[in-house]
């Protein structure tokens, strides 16, 4: 959906039927964008490649790496200058470690120099990300690369038992409910996609019964979305009853860390397996969950490195920083990109599914908390809010110490930042958090890091007794 401009104003002011029509129109447009062109060819290709041997995967990765480096040196000014200065020759590369790291700040500050000149800018797909560390970024993708990535995600959906055309209820970060209209329906419909889209920012005890009732009448084949939102709904159903007609066949989660307590509750309530997967708005390579419950690195999507703080290779079982190289990023290459997410590598024992894809034991990045407001209840995935920033904010963090106020810490770029840049932030946070809670801005020179040089974008620092009173279960990993 449009997030600004005339279309956004039309959507916010329009009746529900018009909003459903606009959501459906956007869904139809995205469907053509995702599943046209070479998408089906890639789906067939990846259906075969998933059974490759380890050596076949390694040969494929080296070939794609050399192609990406050669392309980057020809069409992307940043890589052309950097790699040539270091004497890098694409066809002589034998290991990704021969290349330098790519930092988030490089993409933020040198955005134009990091975009390929091969295609007109207007032909590229623009995406935005807050990043699990709170550094907002803009990213561009070429349409064929985008469809290649969508084909890999289609494989993940098929592993989970999802078929094309299945009805779905989605809990995401789109602001589908205009401010001041939360008393009405809290969902919208994408008719071409057979999709019911639910607002993740209105999951109060008063609203959830209506949402669950409408989900039950919609009868989805599967659910998808943020673990925090699905968990809140599942917990309410556990305490208040489960409609007999709401029996999805599978559930897919992404965009946040899926904690064990969330998985346990969601699976217990819906009596189905939760399939988790890892990706990013920047189009990092993928980690997807197979039928046997293993998180598999998708070697066709790119190269993952798992490193200790000293840049040496981590061993299975220890927390490690993930360095990613993504093959489907020719418009804005990610080569040895420090995405600042962390994971624990699994052993090299072959999974029961029989695929020779490396496994990850757990993903420990994206440790967003949920915040509580008196008029919205528990709200998750607030890292979406920082997407409204231009490149003038280096980092951001949202902290809640008491129930009536929230602190937004900002590290502004002294040369780019202007006070007017805060206006879209206030508007966005009000849409997500409601009008009761007080928002306070704090400017800082840096944000304190935790383990693995990471900091959490959202921190719920309410007193333990307050959390207990509000019935929030906090996972140990989410405490800084």
pLDDT string in tens for the chain (480-residue length): 556 678 888 988 899 999 999 999 999 999 999 999 999 999 999 999 999 999 999 999 999 999 999 999 999 999 999 999 999 999 999 999 999 999 988 998 899 999 999 999 999 999 877 554 456 688 999 999 999 999 999 999 999 999 988 999 999 888 888 877 767 899 999 999 999 999 888 888 889 999 999 999 999 999 999 888 898 899 899 889 888 889 999 999 987 778 787 899 999 999 999 999 998 878 899 999 999 999 999 999 999 999 988 889 999 988 888 999 999 999 999 999 998 888 889 999 999 999 999 999 988 765 456 788 888 887 876 766 666 666 678 778 899 999 999 999 998 888 888 888 888 888 888 888 988 999 999 999 888 765 444 467 788 888 878 877 775 444 333 333
Residue 395 inside a domain? The answer is yes
Residue 237 inside a domain? The answer is yes
Residue 464 inside a domain? The answer is yes
Residue 325 is part of a domain; what is its CATH number? 3.40.50.12780
Both 50 and 148 in one domain: the answer is: yes
Domain boundary among 298, 328, 363: 363
Residue 471 inside a domain? The answer is yes
Both 250 and 306 in one domain: the answer is: no
Both 260 and 307 in one domain: the answer is: no
Enumerate residues 6+ apart whose C-beta is below 8 A from 469. Answer: none
Enumerate residues 6+ apart whose C-beta is below 8 A from 104. Answer: 131, 133, 135, 137, 337, 338, 339, 340
CA 10 – CA 4 distance, rounded (Å): 10
CA 205 – CA 211 distance, rounded (Å): 10
Both 426 and 465 in one domain: the answer is: yes
Both 252 and 287 in one domain: the answer is: no
Residue 26 inside a domain? The answer is yes
Both 227 and 310 in one domain: the answer is: no
Domain boundary among 363, 382, 417: 363
Of 476, 464, 480, 479, nearest in space to 261 by CA = 476
Domain boundary among 293, 328, 363: 363
Q: In the prediction, which pLDDT does 4 show?
A: 66
Both 30 and 53 in one domain: the answer is: no
The whole model's pTM is what?
0.79
CA 393 – CA 413 distance, rounded (Å): 6
Residue 327 contacts residue 301 (beta carbons within 8 Å)? yes
Both 14 and 109 in one domain: the answer is: no
Residue 376 is part of a domain; what is its CATH number? 3.30.300.30
Residue 1 inside a domain? The answer is no
pLDDT in tens, 242-297: 888 899 999 999 877 787 878 999 999 999 999 999 988 788 999 999 999 999 99
pLDDT in tens, 89-147: 999 999 999 999 999 889 988 999 999 999 999 999 998 775 544 566 889 999 999 99
Residue 142 inside a domain? The answer is yes
Both 313 and 265 in one domain: the answer is: no
Of 473, 479, 1, 475, nearest in space to 238 by CA = 473
Q: In the prediction, which pLDDT does 2 show?
A: 56
Which residue do the tokens 């076949």 mark? 56
Please tell me the total count of domains within the chain. 3
CA 128 – CA 105 distance, rounded (Å): 15
Residue 345 inside a domain? The answer is yes
Torsion, Cα of 272, 380, 129, 259 (10° steps)? -50
Both 115 and 79 in one domain: the answer is: yes
Q: Annotate 282-292 with b (16+ C-beta within 10 A) or e (fewer).
A: bbbbbbbbbee
CA 206 – CA 4 distance, rounded (Å): 29
What residue numbers bound the domain in which 384 lies?
371-478
Of 84, 58, 59, nearest in space to 69 by CA = 84
Residue 214 is part of a domain; what is its CATH number? 3.40.50
CA 231 – CA 263 distance, rounded (Å): 8
Both 244 and 176 in one domain: the answer is: yes
Both 311 and 353 in one domain: the answer is: yes
The DSSP bridge partners found for residue 222 are: 168, 250
Of 329, 337, 335, 334, nearest in space to 146 by CA = 329
């Amino acid at each position: 959906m449009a997030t600004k401009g005339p279309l956004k104003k039309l959507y916010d002011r329009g009746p529900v039927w018009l909003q459903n029509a606009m959501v459906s129109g956007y869904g139809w447009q995205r469907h053509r964008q995702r599943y046209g062109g070479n998408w089906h060819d890639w789906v067939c290709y990846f259906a075969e490649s998933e059974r490759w041997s380890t050596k076949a995967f390694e040969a494929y990765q080296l070939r794609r790496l050399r192609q990406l480096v050669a392309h980057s040196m020809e069409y992307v000014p940043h890589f052309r200058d950097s790699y040539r200065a270091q004497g890098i020759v694409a066809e002589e590369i034998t290991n990704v470690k021969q290349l330098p790291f790519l930092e988030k700040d490089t993409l933020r500050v040198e955005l134009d120099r990091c975009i390929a000149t091969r295609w007109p800018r207007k032909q590229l797909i623009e995406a935005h990300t807050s990043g699990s560390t709170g550094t907002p970024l803009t990213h561009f993708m070429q349409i064929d690369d985008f469809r290649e990535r969508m084909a890999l995600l289609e494989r993940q959906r098929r592993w989970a038992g999802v078929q094309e055309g299945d009805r779905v209820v989605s809990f995401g970060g789109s602001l589908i409910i205009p401010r001041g209209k939360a008393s009405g329906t809290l969902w919208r419909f994408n008719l071409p996609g057979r999709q019911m889209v639910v607002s993740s920012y209105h999951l109060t005890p008063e609203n959830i019964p209506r949402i669950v009732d409408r989900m039950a009448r919609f009868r989805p084949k599967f659910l998808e979305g943020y673990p925090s939102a699905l968990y809140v709904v599942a917990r309410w159903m556990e305490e208040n009853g489960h409609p007999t007609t709401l029996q999805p066949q599978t559930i897919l989660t992404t965009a946040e860390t899926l904690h064990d307590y969330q998985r346990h509750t969601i699976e217990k309530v819906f009596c189905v397996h939760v399939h988790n997967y890892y990706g990013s708005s920047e189009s990092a390579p993928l980690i997807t969950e197979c039928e046997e419950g293993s998180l598999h690195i998708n070697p066709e999507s790119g190269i993952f490195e798992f490193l200790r703080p000293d840049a040496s290779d981590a061993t299975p079982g220890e927390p490690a920083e993930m360095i990613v190289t993504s093959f489907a990023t020719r418009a804005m290459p990610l080569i040895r990109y420090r995405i600042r997410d962390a994971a624990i590598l699994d052993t090299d024992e072959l999974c029961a599914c029989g695929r020779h894809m490396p496994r990850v034991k757990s993903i420990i990045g994206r440790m967003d908390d949920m915040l509580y407001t008196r008029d919205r209840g528990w709200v998750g995935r607030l890292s979406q809010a920082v997407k409204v920033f231009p490149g003038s904010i280096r980092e951001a963090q949202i902290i809640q110490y008491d129930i009536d106020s929230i602190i937004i810490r900002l590290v502004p770029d002294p040369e780019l930042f202007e006070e007017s840049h805060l206006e879209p932030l206030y508007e966005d946070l009000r849409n997500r958090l409601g009008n009761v809670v007080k928002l306070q801005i704090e400017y800082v020179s840096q944000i304190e890091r935790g383990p693995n040089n990471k900091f959490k974008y959202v921190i719920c620092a309410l007193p333990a007794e307050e959390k207990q009173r509000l019935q929030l279960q906090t996972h140990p990993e989410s405490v800084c």
